[in-house]
Amino acid sequence: MARKPSRRLRELQQKVENRPYEATEALNLLKETATANFPESAEAHVRLGINPKYTDQQLRTTVSLPKGTGQTIRVAVIAKGEKVNEASNAGADVVGSEDLITEIQQGRMDFDRVIATPDMMPQVAKLGRLLGPRGMMPSPKAGTVTTDIAPAVQEFKAGKLEFRSDRTGIVHVIFGKAAFPTEDLLANLKALQECIDRNKPAGAKGRYWRSLHVAATMGPSIEVDVSGLQDLKAEVAYGS
């Protein structure tokens, strides 16, 4: 049986009208409804016109949020030789070769993102059952299998996110903190929208964007007018 919404959430839901909001208006409302007693994240939930059971309708990519995520991202790098030093110098939190693979197999998980060099992938493959369900398995498409270790580490620590559509064709992305200024949330949401448009799967049929909703972690869902967000000039959203 579904849990009944709390009184706090029911009261917040009354503030949200059943209509698509202009992006800035929606983000102001998100901030207003972030009333939990902890720092809430800002979440985007995008329903797309895709069927991910077909390989040509799957969406998996990365987005660099111009205003960051507001989170501290711990990056692990699996490499060998000079690439180990390169990763350490770039600010990676955990670095290793076969030894790190063994530690992960034994339960080490004190990181949020795993980057690996191509030559280590045959050994990293054995971590699939551990890293896959957590969304941390290195992948060339996600930019986490690369020889350019330093830029990759710096980008992910600065706010680059990997995301994918779930089995129902919905994308869930945390695009900042509810405490961010509205203009920063708008810049991040615009970057996400552009990334999703840019990476439209080749097999997507019919209307691509079905709906976009934003919410604080413990707040009500707020629909955003997608066409208005798409029409917004990037330089306006990014504040440049």
Domain range for 80: 75-157
**Sheet strands side by side (includes 113-116):** 94-96, 75-78, 113-116
What's the confidence (pLDDT) of residue 237?
Answer: 60
CATH for 122: 3.40.50.790
Query: What pLDDT sits at residue 235?
Result: 56
The residues of the chain scoring below 70 in pLDDT are 1-3, 234-240
Tokens 């069927």, residue located? 51
pLDDT of residue 236: 57
Residue range 18-63, pLDDT digits in tens: 999 999 999 999 999 999 999 999 999 999 999 999 999 999 898 9
Does 88 lie in the same domain as 55?
no
**Are residues 178 and 218 located together in one domain of the fold?**
yes
pLDDT at 3: 66
> Which pLDDT score, from 0 to 100, does residue 184 have?
97
Is residue 28, in this structure, part of any structural domain at all? yes
Beta pairing, strands 209-216 & 222-223? antiparallel
* pLDDT for res 91: 95
Return the structure tokens found at 79: 């490499």
Closest CA to 30 of 46, 45, 12, 48: 12
Whether residue 99 is found in the same domain as residue 86: yes
Q: What is the CATH number of the domain that holds 40?
A: 3.30.190.20
Pair (166, 65) in one structural domain: yes
Q: Are residues 65 and 167 in the same domain?
A: yes
Q: What is the total count of domains within the chain? A: 2
Instruction: Tell me, yes or no, whether 226 lies in a domain.
Output: yes
Amino acid at 6: S
In a domain, 5, yes or no: no
Number of residues that make up the chain: 240
